Amino acid sequence: MFTPTKYNLMNVSDGHVFEDNGWSLADPQSSKPSLIRAQYGKFQPREDLDGLYRYACWLPIKRLLKGSCAPVTYKSEGLARLLGLQNLYITFSGWNPRIGAKMRTCSFKETEAYAVLARMDDSEKRILVVQSAGNTARAFAQVCSDNKIPIVICVPQDCLRDLWFAQPLDSCVKLVAVPHGCDYYDAIALGEKLAKDPRFFLEGGAKNVARRDGMGTTVLSCAEQMGRIPDAYFQAVGSGTGAIAAWENACRLEQDGNWGKNNMKVFVAQNDPFTIMYDSWKAGSRQLLELEDAHRKVEVILAKVLSNRKPPYGLAGGLFDTLRQSHGDFFLSDNNDIIYWMMQFRNLEGYDLLPAACVAVSALAQAVKSGAVKRDEYIMLNCTGGGLIEAQRQGVVMKKPDLVLSPDTPDEEVVQRVSALF
């Protein structure tokens, strides 16, 4: 039997420590916009637990789910040689059984799903609601299906092509789509209407400590291979949640004691022309600057998962603070860079990355060129997804929506129509 991990929660803006009510997403005693952060005991990887739960000591979880896989870290040879780096470590979350990576949904969103869903009690009667446009939906759908956890996933109908699976899903997974032309924000609005009913509750996104600490396992995996905290961290960002999580775990490792000082610079990148956080950072602004023509820019970029229009950037503990505290920086790569690095990476490392992960590779190449990282530094390249071609080789089954609902549907009708699915 698994003993739930012990932890407290801390308000990042003022240090106020409090207990988790089971699903706290914010400090009940503060109205200032701030993330909350989990505080754990010693870092003790669990050899006896499967997959991601190797890192159970630093996950806010009450139970273990089946089918998980931890991120895989190895020292790069091919890419390292091309870039002239002596200590480049690649952390991969995706499908490449040859190196032990078996995330069937092909991205690090699977680490979120296994952490968030394990934060829930076995006895939870309410139904979780997740809103997503892509990899997050696929990850939660797969993990819920494999573990028979009822869930409602709200997605834009235009994203349904991302909802492929190796096998048909269990009927506990209900997909509710907002019609063509509606976007991620309409899916969010629909989920919020549903969650007004006490039988449903929202996952919470970046505010959910389980989501961040699930993604943060990428840094734990890398630190174990390096034997220390990295000097530099590279990741493509959409919401910035993964990069915030990486920094939080670098801070925890420093406190833990055996991992050296935390000098980890957090380097992040977006897919040009969707540059909302890049522009704000380069302008020195904690407030997000307006991105003109956002809809068209989402349409043209290859790495669609990097197109979040309301990321947790300016709030306390958000991406702005992470970059500032870590002395990090922001890069851009355009679609041509993505294709170029996709081919290079396949040739040099032997497997295919998702477009978003190629944005991070491109950022690393730029940082080497500009001297932002030194050739002997310990560098972590977070390859957040890939192996899709291999994973789809045996064929795929598409998950069709169980319901299509306009975001303008009255609250009661949303609740009534979705409830009827269960």
Ligand X SMILES: *Cc1c(COP(=O)(O)O)cnc(C)c1O
Q: Which region among 40-48, 64-72, 122-130, 351-359 touches ligand X (by CB under 6 A)? A: 351-359
Q: Is 312 one of the binding residues for ligand X (CB under 6 A)?
A: no
Q: 117 vs 127, which CB is nearer to ligand X?
A: 117
**Pick from 28, 35, 31, 2: nearest CA to 251:** 35
Q: What mask, x for binding ligand X by CB under 6 A, covers residues 149 to 178? A: ------------------------------
* Closest residue to ligand X: CB criterion: 385
**CB-CB contact of 401 with 160 (8 Å):** yes
Closest approach of ligand X to the CB of residue 233, in Å: 13
DSSP codes joined into one string, 349-408:
HSSPBPHHHHHHHHHHHHHHHHTSS-TTSEEEEEE-BB-HHHHTTT--EEPPPSEE--TT
Cα 50 to chain centroid distance, Å, stands at 20
Among residues 140, 137, 144, which one has the least CA distance to residue 158? 137
Stretch that binds ligand X, among 83-91, 118-126, 353-361, 362-370 (CB under 6 A): 353-361
> Tokens 């803006």 appear where?
13
Nearer to ligand X, 193 or 230 (CB): 230
Candidate list 111, 142, 217, 241; residue touching ligand X; CB under 6 A: 241
Per-position DSSP letters for 294-310, written without gaps between them: HHHHHHH-S-GGG--SS
CA distances from 283 to 41, 199, 239, 326 (A): 38, 44, 18, 18
Contact present, 140 and 150 (Cβ < 8 Å): no
Contact with ligand X (CB under 6 A): which of 357, 361, 363, 364? Answer: 357
Q: Distance between CA atoms of 344 and 333, rounded to whole angstroms? A: 15
Instruction: Determine which residue in the list 237, 291, 301, 405 makes contact with ligand X, applying CB under 6 A.
Output: 237
Question: How far apart are CB 142 and ligand X at their closest, in Å?
Answer: 14
Asked if 107 interacts with ligand X (CB under 6 A), we say yes
Q: Binding residue for ligand X (CB under 6 A) from 113, 220, 269, 354?
A: 354
Going by their DSSP bridges, the two strands 265-271 and 36-39 should be labelled as unpaired
Q: Which is nearer to ligand X, 69 or 305 (CB)?
A: 305
Stretch that binds ligand X, among 96-104, 121-129, 238-246, 255-263 (CB under 6 A): 238-246
- Residue 395 CB, shortest distance to ligand X, in Å, is 22
Rule CB under 6 A: is residue 305 a binding residue for ligand X?
A: yes
**Site map 52..91 versus ligand X, x via CB under 6 A:** ----------------------------------------
| 11, containing H or E segment | strand 8-11
Task: Report the C-alpha gap between 107 and 114 in whole angstroms.
Answer: 12
| Nearer of residues 232 and 415 to ligand X, judged by Cβ | 232
Closest CA relative to residue 241, chosen from 291, 290, 286, 277: 277
Q: Distance (Å, rounded) from C-alpha 279 to C-alpha 99?
A: 37
Stretch that binds ligand X, among 163-171, 240-248, 251-259, 272-280 (CB under 6 A): 240-248
143 binds ligand X (CB under 6 A): no
Candidates 8-16, 64-72, 79-87, 232-240: pick the segment binding ligand X (CB under 6 A). 232-240
Q: Residue 146's CB: how many other CB atoms inside 10 A? A: 17
Residue 361 in contact with ligand X, rule: CB under 6 A: no
Q: Is 109 in the site for ligand X (CB under 6 A)?
A: yes
Contact region for ligand X (CB under 6 A) — 10-18, 237-245, 388-396, 402-410? 237-245
Total residues binding ligand X (CB under 6 A): 16
Of the candidates 380, 339, 358, 304, the residue with the CA atom closest to the CA atom of residue 91: 380
Q: By CB under 6 A, which span of 74-82, 236-244, 335-343, 408-416 interacts with ligand X?
A: 236-244
If the CB atoms of residues 76 and 132 are measured against ligand X, the closer one turns out to be 132
**What Rg do the C-alpha atoms of the chain give, in angstroms?**
20
240 contributes a contact to ligand X by CB under 6 A? yes
Does residue 150 have a cis peptide bond before it, meaning omega lies within 30 degrees of 0? no
The size of the chain, in residues, is 422
Q: Which residues bind ligand X (CB under 6 A)?
A: 107, 109, 135, 236-242, 305, 354, 356-357, 384-385
